[in-house]
Amino acid sequence: MLALSSPPIDSEDYLYELKWDGTRCIAFVEEGRVRLQNRRLLDITRRYPEFRDLPASLRASSAILDGEIVVLEGGRPDFRKLQEREHVEDPFRVEILSRILPATYVVFDLLSIDGKDLMKMPLVERRRILEGLFPLGENVILSEVYPRGKALYREALSLGFEGIMAKRKDSPYLPGVRSSYWLKVKGVMDVDAVVCGYLEGEGERRGLFGSLVLGLFHKGRLVHIGQVGTGFDARDMEVINKRLKRLATGSCPFEVEPRLKRRVFWCRPEMVVRVSFQEWTVDGKLRAPSFKGIRDDKGPEECLTPPSFPGSSSGPP
Protein backbone atom coordinates (compact mmCIF):
# COMPACT_ATOMS: atom_id res chain seq x y z
CA MET A 1 0.00 0.00 0.00
CA LEU A 2 1.35 3.42 -0.99
CA ALA A 3 0.93 7.01 0.19
CA LEU A 4 0.30 10.47 -1.22
CA SER A 5 2.38 13.52 -0.21
CA SER A 6 0.74 15.96 2.18
CA PRO A 7 1.48 18.94 4.45
CA PRO A 8 1.24 18.27 8.21
CA ILE A 9 -2.32 17.66 9.40
CA ASP A 10 -4.19 17.13 12.65
CA SER A 11 -7.31 15.02 12.32
CA GLU A 12 -8.94 12.55 14.67
CA ASP A 13 -9.62 10.36 11.61
CA TYR A 14 -5.89 9.53 11.31
CA LEU A 15 -3.15 7.75 13.25
CA TYR A 16 0.39 9.14 13.01
CA GLU A 17 3.74 7.34 12.86
CA LEU A 18 7.37 8.25 12.29
CA LYS A 19 8.51 7.81 8.68
CA TRP A 20 11.31 5.25 8.58
CA ASP A 21 13.88 5.82 5.83
CA GLY A 22 14.75 2.29 4.69
CA THR A 23 13.69 -0.58 2.44
CA ARG A 24 9.99 -1.47 2.33
CA CYS A 25 9.55 -5.15 3.15
CA ILE A 26 6.75 -7.71 3.32
CA ALA A 27 7.58 -10.61 5.64
CA PHE A 28 5.89 -13.99 5.04
CA VAL A 29 6.10 -16.20 8.13
CA GLU A 30 4.98 -19.82 7.77
CA GLU A 31 6.06 -23.29 8.95
CA GLY A 32 8.90 -21.91 11.06
CA ARG A 33 10.48 -19.96 8.20
CA VAL A 34 10.49 -16.33 7.08
CA ARG A 35 10.66 -14.96 3.54
CA LEU A 36 11.36 -11.28 2.93
CA GLN A 37 10.16 -9.51 -0.22
CA ASN A 38 10.81 -5.91 -1.26
CA ARG A 39 8.37 -3.70 -3.14
CA ARG A 40 9.65 -4.99 -6.49
CA LEU A 41 8.64 -8.49 -5.32
CA LEU A 42 12.30 -9.58 -5.14
CA ASP A 43 13.32 -12.09 -2.47
CA ILE A 44 15.82 -10.39 -0.12
CA THR A 45 15.76 -13.00 2.67
CA ARG A 46 19.41 -13.99 2.24
CA ARG A 47 20.57 -10.41 2.87
CA TYR A 48 19.16 -10.28 6.41
CA PRO A 49 20.01 -13.39 8.45
CA GLU A 50 19.24 -11.50 11.69
CA PHE A 51 15.52 -12.01 10.98
CA ARG A 52 15.63 -15.81 10.63
CA ASP A 53 14.48 -16.30 14.26
CA LEU A 54 11.35 -14.20 13.74
CA PRO A 55 8.99 -17.21 13.41
CA ALA A 56 10.08 -18.60 16.80
CA SER A 57 8.98 -15.46 18.67
CA LEU A 58 5.80 -14.78 16.67
CA ARG A 59 2.59 -15.41 18.62
CA ALA A 60 0.96 -17.07 15.60
CA SER A 61 1.65 -20.04 13.37
CA SER A 62 1.69 -17.87 10.24
CA ALA A 63 1.46 -14.19 9.36
CA ILE A 64 2.13 -11.63 6.63
CA LEU A 65 3.67 -8.41 7.95
CA ASP A 66 4.39 -5.07 6.29
CA GLY A 67 7.16 -2.80 7.44
CA GLU A 68 10.49 -1.13 6.76
CA ILE A 69 14.01 -2.53 7.11
CA VAL A 70 16.39 0.07 8.54
CA VAL A 71 19.88 0.30 9.99
CA LEU A 72 19.73 2.47 13.09
CA GLU A 73 22.41 4.92 14.20
CA GLY A 74 21.68 6.67 17.47
CA GLY A 75 18.06 5.55 17.28
CA ARG A 76 17.55 7.05 13.81
CA PRO A 77 17.55 5.28 10.45
CA ASP A 78 20.80 5.71 8.49
CA PHE A 79 20.04 5.18 4.80
CA ARG A 80 23.71 5.19 3.80
CA LYS A 81 24.54 2.38 6.24
CA LEU A 82 21.57 0.41 4.94
CA GLN A 83 23.07 0.73 1.46
CA GLU A 84 26.06 -1.32 2.66
CA ARG A 85 23.64 -4.15 3.46
CA GLU A 86 21.52 -3.86 0.32
CA HIS A 87 24.09 -4.63 -2.35
CA VAL A 88 25.97 -7.57 -0.82
CA GLU A 89 25.50 -11.08 -2.21
CA ASP A 90 28.46 -13.02 -0.76
CA PRO A 91 27.05 -15.17 2.13
CA PHE A 92 30.15 -14.76 4.31
CA ARG A 93 30.10 -10.97 4.00
CA VAL A 94 26.35 -10.92 4.60
CA GLU A 95 26.87 -12.72 7.93
CA ILE A 96 29.68 -10.37 8.96
CA LEU A 97 27.67 -7.25 8.10
CA SER A 98 24.64 -8.57 10.00
CA ARG A 99 26.82 -8.27 13.12
CA ILE A 100 28.64 -5.04 12.26
CA LEU A 101 25.61 -3.21 10.83
CA PRO A 102 22.59 -5.07 12.24
CA ALA A 103 19.27 -4.24 10.61
CA THR A 104 15.94 -3.69 12.34
CA TYR A 105 12.54 -4.58 10.89
CA VAL A 106 10.03 -1.89 11.87
CA VAL A 107 6.58 -3.47 11.48
CA PHE A 108 3.58 -1.21 10.90
CA ASP A 109 0.84 -3.42 9.42
CA LEU A 110 -0.58 -6.94 9.45
CA LEU A 111 -2.10 -8.39 6.27
CA SER A 112 -2.84 -11.94 7.38
CA ILE A 113 -2.66 -14.10 10.50
CA ASP A 114 -3.05 -17.88 10.77
CA GLY A 115 -4.39 -17.94 7.22
CA LYS A 116 -7.05 -15.26 7.82
CA ASP A 117 -6.99 -12.32 5.36
CA LEU A 118 -7.14 -9.02 7.29
CA MET A 119 -6.75 -6.58 4.38
CA LYS A 120 -10.42 -5.51 4.30
CA MET A 121 -10.37 -4.86 8.04
CA PRO A 122 -9.97 -1.21 9.23
CA LEU A 123 -6.44 -0.18 10.14
CA VAL A 124 -7.26 0.23 13.84
CA GLU A 125 -8.41 -3.40 13.98
CA ARG A 126 -5.31 -4.64 12.15
CA ARG A 127 -3.17 -2.63 14.57
CA ARG A 128 -4.95 -4.12 17.59
CA ILE A 129 -4.20 -7.64 16.38
CA LEU A 130 -0.66 -6.69 15.41
CA GLU A 131 0.11 -5.32 18.86
CA GLY A 132 -0.87 -8.70 20.31
CA LEU A 133 1.96 -10.37 18.38
CA PHE A 134 4.71 -8.46 20.21
CA PRO A 135 7.40 -8.65 21.47
CA LEU A 136 8.61 -10.33 18.27
CA GLY A 137 12.37 -10.29 18.73
CA GLU A 138 15.53 -8.27 19.26
CA ASN A 139 15.70 -6.99 15.69
CA VAL A 140 11.96 -6.55 15.12
CA ILE A 141 10.00 -3.64 16.60
CA LEU A 142 6.51 -2.20 16.25
CA SER A 143 6.14 1.28 14.76
CA GLU A 144 4.36 3.30 17.44
CA VAL A 145 1.30 5.44 16.66
CA TYR A 146 0.55 8.93 18.00
CA PRO A 147 -2.66 10.98 18.21
CA ARG A 148 -1.40 14.35 16.87
CA GLY A 149 0.26 14.84 13.50
CA LYS A 150 1.65 18.38 13.62
CA ALA A 151 3.34 17.94 17.00
CA LEU A 152 4.84 14.60 15.93
CA TYR A 153 6.05 16.16 12.67
CA ARG A 154 7.94 18.92 14.52
CA GLU A 155 9.42 16.43 16.97
CA ALA A 156 10.40 14.02 14.17
CA LEU A 157 12.34 16.71 12.32
CA SER A 158 14.08 17.86 15.50
CA LEU A 159 15.23 14.26 16.11
CA GLY A 160 16.60 13.87 12.58
CA PHE A 161 13.79 11.80 11.01
CA GLU A 162 12.69 12.69 7.47
CA GLY A 163 9.03 13.11 8.43
CA ILE A 164 5.91 11.21 9.47
CA MET A 165 3.09 9.07 8.06
CA ALA A 166 -0.61 9.79 8.57
CA LYS A 167 -2.99 6.84 8.08
CA ARG A 168 -6.78 6.86 8.24
CA LYS A 169 -8.08 4.73 11.08
CA ASP A 170 -10.74 3.16 8.86
CA SER A 171 -8.44 2.40 5.92
CA PRO A 172 -8.37 -1.09 4.42
CA TYR A 173 -5.06 -2.40 3.07
CA LEU A 174 -4.98 -1.79 -0.70
CA PRO A 175 -1.87 -3.38 -2.30
CA GLY A 176 -0.24 -1.15 -4.89
CA VAL A 177 -2.79 1.65 -4.42
CA ARG A 178 -1.69 5.23 -3.70
CA SER A 179 -4.51 7.16 -2.02
CA SER A 180 -5.37 9.65 0.72
CA TYR A 181 -5.89 6.73 3.10
CA TRP A 182 -2.12 7.00 3.71
CA LEU A 183 -0.23 10.32 3.64
CA LYS A 184 3.51 10.99 3.83
CA VAL A 185 4.64 14.27 5.38
CA LYS A 186 8.30 15.00 4.70
CA GLY A 187 10.51 17.83 5.90
CA VAL A 188 13.24 17.37 3.32
CA MET A 189 12.96 17.23 -0.45
CA ASP A 190 14.17 14.10 -2.13
CA VAL A 191 13.22 12.15 -5.21
CA ASP A 192 13.72 8.65 -6.57
CA ALA A 193 14.93 9.15 -10.13
CA VAL A 194 15.90 6.97 -13.09
CA VAL A 195 19.55 6.95 -14.19
CA CYS A 196 19.50 7.57 -17.95
CA GLY A 197 23.21 8.06 -18.56
CA TYR A 198 26.33 9.68 -17.19
CA LEU A 199 28.80 12.43 -17.97
CA GLU A 200 32.44 11.52 -18.48
CA GLY A 201 34.59 11.73 -15.34
CA GLU A 202 37.59 14.05 -15.06
CA GLY A 203 40.56 14.32 -12.69
CA GLU A 204 40.19 11.83 -9.81
CA ARG A 205 37.15 10.40 -11.57
CA ARG A 206 38.86 9.75 -14.87
CA GLY A 207 37.71 6.33 -16.08
CA LEU A 208 34.58 6.59 -13.89
CA PHE A 209 31.48 8.75 -14.19
CA GLY A 210 31.48 12.43 -13.38
CA SER A 211 27.76 12.77 -12.73
CA LEU A 212 24.58 10.79 -13.37
CA VAL A 213 21.97 12.02 -15.84
CA LEU A 214 18.55 11.70 -14.22
CA GLY A 215 14.98 11.43 -15.45
CA LEU A 216 11.39 11.07 -14.22
CA PHE A 217 8.21 10.03 -15.98
CA HIS A 218 5.94 13.04 -16.55
CA LYS A 219 2.56 12.43 -18.17
CA GLY A 220 3.85 9.19 -19.63
CA ARG A 221 7.11 10.62 -21.02
CA LEU A 222 10.62 10.28 -19.58
CA VAL A 223 11.89 13.83 -18.99
CA HIS A 224 15.36 15.09 -18.06
CA ILE A 225 15.57 16.60 -14.54
CA GLY A 226 19.31 17.31 -14.35
CA GLN A 227 22.49 15.62 -13.11
CA VAL A 228 23.86 14.61 -9.72
CA GLY A 229 27.61 14.56 -9.14
CA THR A 230 28.00 14.81 -5.35
CA GLY A 231 27.31 12.56 -2.37
CA PHE A 232 29.14 9.47 -3.66
CA ASP A 233 31.74 7.58 -1.64
CA ALA A 234 34.32 5.20 -3.13
CA ARG A 235 32.05 2.16 -2.79
CA ASP A 236 29.14 4.00 -4.44
CA MET A 237 31.37 4.89 -7.38
CA GLU A 238 32.51 1.28 -7.79
CA VAL A 239 29.02 -0.26 -7.58
CA ILE A 240 27.39 2.31 -9.86
CA ASN A 241 30.21 2.23 -12.41
CA LYS A 242 29.79 -1.54 -12.84
CA ARG A 243 26.05 -1.17 -13.33
CA LEU A 244 26.45 1.63 -15.84
CA LYS A 245 28.67 -0.57 -17.98
CA ARG A 246 26.03 -3.35 -17.98
CA LEU A 247 23.28 -0.88 -18.91
CA ALA A 248 25.23 0.95 -21.64
CA THR A 249 23.36 1.74 -24.86
CA GLY A 250 24.01 3.93 -27.86
CA SER A 251 20.63 5.67 -27.87
CA CYS A 252 19.24 8.47 -25.70
CA PRO A 253 16.21 7.30 -23.64
CA PHE A 254 14.60 10.78 -23.66
CA GLU A 255 12.22 11.85 -26.44
CA VAL A 256 14.05 15.17 -26.51
CA GLU A 257 17.80 14.79 -26.07
CA PRO A 258 19.10 17.32 -23.51
CA ARG A 259 22.00 19.60 -24.36
CA LEU A 260 24.84 18.79 -21.97
CA LYS A 261 28.17 20.55 -21.65
CA ARG A 262 30.33 17.41 -21.46
CA ARG A 263 30.47 14.10 -23.25
CA VAL A 264 27.51 11.90 -22.29
CA PHE A 265 27.13 8.11 -22.32
CA TRP A 266 23.55 6.83 -22.37
CA CYS A 267 22.25 3.76 -20.57
CA ARG A 268 19.01 1.82 -20.41
CA PRO A 269 16.71 3.54 -17.87
CA GLU A 270 16.57 0.71 -15.33
CA MET A 271 18.59 1.83 -12.28
CA VAL A 272 16.86 4.00 -9.66
CA VAL A 273 18.67 6.29 -7.21
CA ARG A 274 17.49 8.53 -4.40
CA VAL A 275 18.61 12.15 -4.56
CA SER A 276 18.07 14.99 -2.08
CA PHE A 277 17.80 18.55 -3.40
CA GLN A 278 16.88 22.11 -2.40
CA GLU A 279 14.06 22.86 -4.84
CA TRP A 280 12.82 22.56 -8.41
CA THR A 281 13.98 25.19 -10.89
CA VAL A 282 11.35 26.82 -13.11
CA ASP A 283 12.40 24.56 -16.02
CA GLY A 284 11.99 21.35 -13.99
CA LYS A 285 15.59 20.67 -12.92
CA LEU A 286 16.97 19.71 -9.51
CA ARG A 287 18.72 22.53 -7.64
CA ALA A 288 21.77 21.43 -5.58
CA PRO A 289 21.15 17.65 -5.84
CA SER A 290 23.11 15.14 -3.75
CA PHE A 291 23.16 11.34 -4.09
CA LYS A 292 21.71 9.36 -1.16
CA GLY A 293 21.65 5.77 -2.40
CA ILE A 294 20.55 3.16 -4.93
CA ARG A 295 16.91 2.04 -4.75
CA ASP A 296 16.86 -1.63 -5.76
CA ASP A 297 13.41 -1.91 -4.18
CA LYS A 298 11.86 0.53 -6.63
CA GLY A 299 11.30 0.17 -10.37
CA PRO A 300 11.81 2.94 -12.95
CA GLU A 301 8.08 2.95 -13.79
CA GLU A 302 7.44 4.19 -10.23
CA CYS A 303 9.64 7.28 -10.71
CA LEU A 304 6.94 9.86 -11.45
CA THR A 305 7.13 13.64 -11.21
CA PRO A 306 5.65 14.81 -7.87
CA PRO A 307 2.88 17.42 -7.54
CA SER A 308 5.58 20.04 -6.79
CA PHE A 309 7.16 19.50 -10.23
CA PRO A 310 6.76 22.57 -12.50
CA GLY A 311 3.83 22.01 -14.82
CA SER A 312 2.20 19.31 -12.67
CA SER A 313 -1.38 19.48 -11.49
CA SER A 314 -2.14 19.50 -7.77
CA GLY A 315 -2.94 15.81 -7.82
CA PRO A 316 -0.69 12.81 -8.39
CA PRO A 317 0.81 12.47 -11.91
**How many angstroms separate the CA atoms of 162 and 18, rounded?**
8
Contact 265, 244 (CB under 8 A): yes
The catalytic residue among 19, 167, 186, 292 is 19
Residue 137 has pLDDT above 80, yes or no: no
The answer on pLDDT for 317 being more than 60 is no
Q: How many whole angstroms separate alpha carbon 25 and alpha carbon 143?
A: 14
Q: Which residues pair with 166 in a beta bridge?
A: 16, 183
Q: Answer whether residue 315 shows pLDDT above 60.
A: no
pLDDT exceeds 90 at position 226: yes
- The pLDDT score that the predictor gives to residue 144 is 94
Percent of the chain with pLDDT over 90: 74
Nearest to 304 by CA among 229, 223, 226: 223
Per residue in 35-75, pLDDT (tens digit) is 999 998 999 999 999 999 899 888 899 999 999 999 999 88
Determine the Cα–Cα distance for residues 298 and 2; give it in Å rounded to an integer: 12
Mean pLDDT, range 174-180, rounded to an integer? 93
What are the respective helix, strand and coil percentages of the chain, to the nearest 5? 20, 35, 40
Q: Please give the pLDDT value at position 126.
A: 98
pLDDT surpassing 70 at residue 234: yes
Q: What pLDDT, on the 0 to 100 scale, is given for residue 34?
A: 95
Structural domains in the chain plus CATH codes: 1-20+143-188 (3.30.1490.70), 22-140 (3.30.470.30), 190-302 (2.40.50.140)
Whether residue 175 has a cis bond before it, omega within 30° of 0: no
How do residues 140-171 score in pLDDT, each as one tens digit?
999 999 999 999 999 999 898 989 999 999 99
Question: How many angstroms separate the CA atoms of 286 and 135, rounded?
Answer: 43
Answering whether pTM is above 0.85, one says: no
pLDDT value at residue 312 = 59
State the number of CA atoms in the 13 A half-sphere of 70 facing the CB.
22
Selection from 112, 14, 4 nearest residue 58 by Cα:
112
What is the SS3 assignment for 49? helix
The answer to whether residue 116 is catalytic is no
* DSSP-derived 3-state class of residue 285: coil
Residue 314 pLDDT > 50: no
- CA-CA distance, 187 to 28, in Å (whole number)? 32
- Residue 311 phi/psi, 5-degree rounding, is 95, -5
At 21, the amino acid letter reads: D
